[in-house]
């Protein structure tokens, strides 16, 4: 899922690019139209200047004092011609020398513009026809025509386009940077909430602290209420279940004491003791299952020291078997949960491994990538015992099921481990070890 910041930046970039692009096209079109109007106005101005500088006599038409020096330079790109259908004499600017140029037909009193392409470039030509009265009171029709090369016009357009898009591109970059800064500033409270929640998960904080914008006040208040209720609920569970355990302990102890005084047969005493012990185990199991909450809000626990304590204790319990326990424990592996849950998981699995192994037990604890860019604890416990048959690998994780019915136990140790692991959103699998026995893989978030 794309983050909110990236979504907003992407949307803002698209809108900004569209706005800048349309603005650039509009400005470029406007500049081109205005430049073309200015060129036509300039050519019209040249026509009026030629009209003012022209003189008509019986001998014909002459033009003096041309308004632009380019009219005197051959092939300069600015050309002029005056001709009459009534008078074979016509005037041409010196710049037309050696240039074959076609001008549009003139209409009396109107400016006629046309674009013409020639071997020496593209031109904008204009023609304007007037009726001139000569000295003998006769009228003659003269057409004033001019043409200017559009190379300079296109160079102006290209230069404007280059400068325009350079400025617009720079402006877009500056606006995008400003927008990113504004977005980061605007979303900073959300990032602060995320950081505070991470601190709560690590156990550095107990609630969301600090001042938040009014839009987030209701959210943070609800989260704090949820945290307080969760902790209060855990506390009530622990207190209630502790009271329950204390209340049950005394009647069971009385029953066990009375059995010792009982004169019943040894078999009856054994059965009663067996049932009382079973009641004790069931009560402990149910209490532990109820207390185990799978909360991710607990302070982080280092896994390695707890694993070392359990291994040291089991080495003493099973010292007669002379078990070699090989361990590789990552120092940075931490467990976010109840310390009793971690002891229950590792204690049950390591006890099973020591119980069933031939001589070797191997324990590996490592850190691996988890979900949502977090880390997970990977616990692997192996032994060189007889292993677990394939058909029983899933069954032994269920409550009351044991791989060997002859071995003492109630078959709830592994089921407790499974329920605790599931409560934390983890996974437990049983497979064959390279040592020859069973391998238990546990992944805890």
Domain range summary for the chain, segments of one domain joined by + = 6-156, 214-291, 300-444
Q: In this predicted structure, what is the pLDDT of residue 376?
A: 80
Question: Which pLDDT does position 245 carry in this prediction?
Answer: 66
Looking at residue 95, its pLDDT comes to 86
Instruction: Record the tokens describing residue 158, joined without a space.
Output: 């290209």
HSE on the CB side for 106, CA within 13 Å? 21
Q: Which segment of 253-267, 307-321, 410-424 scores lowest on mean pLDDT?
A: 253-267
pTM of the complete model: 0.50
pLDDT in tens, 368-404: 876 555 668 899 999 998 888 887 877 777 654 444 4
Kindly tell me if the per-residue pLDDT of 409 is higher than 70. Answer: no
The CATH number, out of the four listed (3.30.70.3040, 3.30.565.10, 3.30.9.10, 3.40.1410.10), of the domain defined by the range 300-444: 3.30.565.10
Spatial neighbors of 443 by CB under 8 A, at least 6 apart, are: 368, 376, 377, 378, 379, 426, 427, 428
Q: Are strands 360-369 and 324-329 parallel, antiparallel or unpaired?
A: parallel
Question: What does the pLDDT read at residue 407?
Answer: 45
Mean pLDDT of 11-35: 91
* Per-residue pLDDT at 278 exceeds 50: yes
- Across residues 180-201, what is the average pLDDT? 80
Sign of CA dihedral 323, 329, 335, 338: positive
- Does the pLDDT at position 94 exceed 80? yes
Q: CA of 173: how far to CAs of 20, 187, 422, in Å?
A: 11, 21, 50
For residue 420, the Cα-to-chain-centroid distance in whole angstroms is: 34
Percent of the chain with pLDDT over 70: 77
43 contacts 126 by C-beta, under 8 angstroms: yes
DSSP 371: G
Average pLDDT, the chain: 79
The pLDDT of residue 410 is: 34
pLDDT at residue 283, rounded to an integer:
67
Higher pLDDT, 72 or 202: 72
pLDDT in tens, 131-142: 877 666 677 788
Using CA atoms, how far apart are residues 141 and 139, in angstroms rounded to an integer? 7
Asked whether 401 and 393 are in contact (CB, 8 A), the reply is no
Q: What span, in angstroms and rounded, lies between the C-alpha atoms of 393 and 78?
A: 97
Instruction: Tell me the average pLDDT across 175-193.
Output: 84
pLDDT on residue 406: 42
DSSP string over 42-101: HHHHHHHHHHHHEEEETTEEEE-S-SSGGGGSTTSSEEEEEEESS-S--EE-GGGTT---
pLDDT(242) > 70: no
pLDDT over 50 at 408, yes or no: no
Contact yes or no for 329/378 (Cβ under 8 A) = no
């Amino acid at each position: 899922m794309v983050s909110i910041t990236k979504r907003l930046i992407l949307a803002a970039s698209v809108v900004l690019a569209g706005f800048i692009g349309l603005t650039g096209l509009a400005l470029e079109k406007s500049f081109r139209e205005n430049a073309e109007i200015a060129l036509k106005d300039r050519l019209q101005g040249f026509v009026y200047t030629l009209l003012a500088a022209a003189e008509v006599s019986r001998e014909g038409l002459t033009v003096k004092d041309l308004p632009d020096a380019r009219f005197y330079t051959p092939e300069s790109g600015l050309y002029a011609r005056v001709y009459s259908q009534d008078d074979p004499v016509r005037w041409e600017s010196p710049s037309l020398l050696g240039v074959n140029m076609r001008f549009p037909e003139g209409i009396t009193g109107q400016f006629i513009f046309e674009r013409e392409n020639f071997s020496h470039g593209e031109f904008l030509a204009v023609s304007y026809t007037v009726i001139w009265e000569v000295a003998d009171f006769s009228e003659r029709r003269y057409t004033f025509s001019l043409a200017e090369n559009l190379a300079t016009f296109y160079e102006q357009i290209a230069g404007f386009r280059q400068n325009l898009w350079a400025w617009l591109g720079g402006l877009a970059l500056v606006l995008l940077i400003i927008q990113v800064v504004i977005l980061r500033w605007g979303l900073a409270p959300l990032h602060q909430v995320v950081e505070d929640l991470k601190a709560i998960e690590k156990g550095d904080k107990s609630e969301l602290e600090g001042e938040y914008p009014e839009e987030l006040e209701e959210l943070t208040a609800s989260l704090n209420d949820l945290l307080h209720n969760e902790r209060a609920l855990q506390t009530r569970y622990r207190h209630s279940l502790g009271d329950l355990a204390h209340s049950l302990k005394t009647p069971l102890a009385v029953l066990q004491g009375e059995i010792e005084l009982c004169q019943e047969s040894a078999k009856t005493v054994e059965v009663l003791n067996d049932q009382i012990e079973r009641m004790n185990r069931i009560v402990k199991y149910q209490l532990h299952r109820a207390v185990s909450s799978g909360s991710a809000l607990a302070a982080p626990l280092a896994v390695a020291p707890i694993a070392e304590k359990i291994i040291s204790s089991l080495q003493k319990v099973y010292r007669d078997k002379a078990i070699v326990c090989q361990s590789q424990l990552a120092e940075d592996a931490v467990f976010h949960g109840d310390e009793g849950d971690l002891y229950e998981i590792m204690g049950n699995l390591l006890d099973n491994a020591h119980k069933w192994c031939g001589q070797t037990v191997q324990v590996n604890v490592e850190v691996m990538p988890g979900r949502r860019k977090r880390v997970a604890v990977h616990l692997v416990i192996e032994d060189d015992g007889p292993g677990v048959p394939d058909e029983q690998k899933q069954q032994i994780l269920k409550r009351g099921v044991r791989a060997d019915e002859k071995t003492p136990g109630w078959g709830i140790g592994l089921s407790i481990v499974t329920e605790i692991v599931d409560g934390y959103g983890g996974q437990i699998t049983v497979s064959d070890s390279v040592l020859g026995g069973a391998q238990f893989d546990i992944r805890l978030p």
